[in-house]
Chain A
Amino acid sequence: MIPHIESGVHGFDELGNFKGGGGIPENTVTLIYGPPKTGKSIFSYQFAYHGLIIEEPCLYMLIDYTMKDLKQNMMEFGFNMERYLENDNFHVINAVTTNREDLMVDSEVYRYSSVKNPIDIMVKVGEGASLVHKKNPRFRAVIDSLTTLLLYNENMLIVRILKAYIMRIKAAGGTVIITYTEGSTDSNKETMIKSMVDNIIRLDGEYLTIEAMKGMGKRRAPYNITDKGMVVGKGIL
């Protein structure tokens, strides 16, 4: 049986009906995609934050918004990141702002990079993966989101970064969530991205659809965004 890790999203782990607890297959890559404002980032907040609570560190790649936004967004659901930034369990690669614009100090757990410089991003991912792995070989990783990265780089380069990223994190033992806004690139790119991940979840604002997931068939369930985060209802096969 494939070991699973708890997703942190209310109701999601019950969808699979796995013996010994559901969730996300460990050491896989899950793509969460859908139209804008459907809760993709919220899924990744819950995934990351739940990991932190159970001492699974997280390597979080910030691409679409600043650290200030991330903290605020998470705070909306009562997730206080400060403690985990302090105890070095929450590692951030900030590819969106330079540290001249941001107040955070460049440190071992908070690294700056640039969406335009995938080579540098991979350097930071390599270092980050080693550090996080040292804290706990069972760790989580998030890219939120791929959309901006796609905007700034050539097709082939994206494939290379993603391949290198997935290889690096998987080798280190991590479980990955990648978010992506549907339609923000051409369908070729989309197909390409889908072919590189293990699990695919689509959010449309009303329903969460598991289009593909290791060890289980398609599932569909309604969901709501509440002040506790995303809550997934009973699944339909």
Chain B
Amino acid sequence: MIKKSHIPKLDDFLDGGIPEGTSVLFCAYPGIGSETFGYQILNGRLQEGDKGFIFTNVAEPSSIIYEFNKYGWDLEKNIDEENVFFVDGSSYFIGSPVMGKYSIENYSQIKEVVKKAINDVPSGVGVINNLSTLVDYLGVEETLETIHEWNEFAKLNKTVLIYIFTKWDYEEQFIDEIKSSVDCLVNVNTIEDRVIIGQGFMVVSSSWTTPSNEMALFFIIQPGGVRIYIPKILVTGPHNAGKSTFVKAISKKSVSVDRKALGKFKTTIAMDIGHMEYKGFVADVFGTPGQERFDLILDVLAKEAVGAFILVDSTLPETFARAKEMISKCKAEAIPKIIVANKTDLPGALTTEKIREIMKLGSDIPIVPASAREKIGINEAMDAFLALLYRD
């Protein structure tokens, strides 16, 4: 039987939710909190009338109750009604009074005590927060052995186990072993360029469905919990570099606010708006006008965007300085960006190496040759962009 995860979008990724008796690992990069995922799943299941427990070795139960309150979820009432309980593996070690149905005063007790807890919540859910801290207590070997035993036990008992894990710089082999110890792995990643500007989750593997490799961007609000949003992508560059054509090329649908300036050629005077859906990445695309008088728009959009395509006309090196200026604007807001060397099919187009040299760009900014008009290099540009965003 499949139960809803109560995390928006995650149920779509998982073909309806999480089957009874399975284990799910939320693997987060340092700097992102993934415990909210565990707490939200638990809260949702409690509301459905199921039972559950939280094993904690990172915060005292009272702090967790307080956290739940901030999300607008009443854990205390559920504790009173015996729908949920704590396995307190935290308080004793910091000298606070222990609290909860079970408590741990010696690391060697952890395995058996959690098994008892699993046994107490048949067809329910247990949240293990935090697996990485457990590794510090038990060491790699014993942790892996413990997880295997818990998972076996949970399967028999139809209990879902949610593991919260922070991916510090462990050995790759250990990470692989941890990942293969569970039925389902959800990666919680950051989108960053020097600072974190967004976070997303993605189902990497699952024993009951084929993952879609789609990333859902989210933020966490209190009250509320995990909320999904559609990110903004910026397309910018000097005047007449081909931004509108590019926005159209990467979008399923798009509109352009423009006018025919002085007759012949169209120029964008407000912005191009498109909607990109590529390999599971969904975003609203905003193309800004290239003229300096519109830099204010660029400023505002760059603040909200998670990434940018900077277009240059490969045949016009004299416009590169302006492109560089626009990059520095995006840079101030620190967002991942790639250069699209447009009009690469035209005579006199410079090579990407030459463009890199003239613009004095570091190797960390990818340059992709393309022709928005001829639909050349569009997929390559989007692939390079996603690789940058996901930091593959």
Contact = CB atoms under 8 A, between A and B. Distances in A.
Note whether A and B form a binding pair: yes
Given A122-B30, A160-B30, A160-B169, A116 B94 contact: yes
A163 interface: yes
B31 interface: yes
Contacts of A127: 196
B59 A130 contact: no
A119 B195 contact: no
Contact of A130 (B90, B137, B196): B196
Interface of B is mostly: mixed
A172 interface: yes
Interface stretch (B128-136, B286-294, B370-378, B383-391): B128-136
Interface string B333-371: 110000000000000000000000000000000000000
Contacts of A66: none
Interface string B140-171: 00000000000000000000000000101100
Contacts of A157: 133, 136, 168
A172 B136 contact: no
Contacts of B332: 137
B58 A171 contact: no
B77 interface: no
A167 to B, nearest CB: 8
B31 A126 contact: yes
A80 interface: no
A160 B133 CA distance: 11
A125 interface: yes
- Size category, B interface: 20 to 34
B196 A126 contact: yes
Interface string B75-99: 0000000000000001001100000
B7 interface: no
- Size category, A interface: 20 to 34
Interface string A167-179: 0100111000000
Interface of A is mostly: helix
Given A116-B59, A120-B33, A172 B130 contact: no
Nearest to B56: A117
B136 A156 contact: yes
Contacts of A122: 30-31, 166
Interface in A211-226: none
Contacts of A168: 30-31
B334 A120 contact: no
A119 B94 contact: no
Contacts, number: 74
A164 interface: yes
A160 B168 contact: yes
Contacts of A164: 30-31, 168-169
B31 A154 contact: no
A28 to B, nearest CB: 16
Interface string A137-156: 10000000000000011101
A123 B33 contact: yes
Contacts of A116: 58-59, 90, 93-94
A129 B195 contact: yes
B44 to A, nearest CB: 22
Contact of A119 (B66, B130, B169, B197): B130
B168 A130 contact: no
A120 B136 contact: no
Contact of A133 (B30, B33, B137, B334): B334
Contacts of B333: 134
Nearest to A119: B166
B108 interface: no
Contacts of B196: 126-127, 129-130
A172 B195 contact: yes
For the complex of A and B, the 5 pairs showing the least CB-CB separation, nearest first, are A126-B31, A160-B168, A164-B30, A130-B195, A123-B33
